Amino acid sequence: MKKNWDLTTDLPDDGSDRIVVMEIAANPDICIISVYLPCRGNNTKYNFCEVMLEIEELLENYSDTHALFICGDFNSSLSRKPPNDRD
């Protein structure tokens, strides 16, 4: 079992105020995308859609070359009854 890891990390400029992207040089390379989606309220549907478009672009940019992990607070639910437009 390997006890030491030889990793190089980078925070590329691909993120935004709601998305942080971290690359880890490994075999295979890893890309962690941390997301904080806006809560419901005034003008948030536009912000929500903008963040979703950013995530889609990041997936397109990194999916061929990196193992991808997306995590964060999506402000949605899989079990809410009745569901809202984000669930």
> Is 79 within a domain?
no
Q: State the Cα angle at 69 between 64 and 71, rounded to 5°.
A: 145
> Is 82 within a domain?
no
Q: What are 42-74's pLDDT values in tens digits? A: 566 777 788 889 899 999 999 999 999 999 987
> Domain span at residue 23?
8-73
For residues 16 and 8, give the distance between their C-alpha atoms in angstroms, rounded to a whole number.
Answer: 22
> Is 2 within a domain?
no
Q: What are 27-50's pLDDT values in tens digits? A: 888 999 988 877 666 566 777 788
The answer to whether the CB of 21 falls within 8 A of the CB of 54 is no
> Is 78 within a domain?
no
Q: Is this structure's pTM higher than 0.85?
A: no
> Is 54 within a domain?
yes
Count how many domains the chain has.
Answer: 1
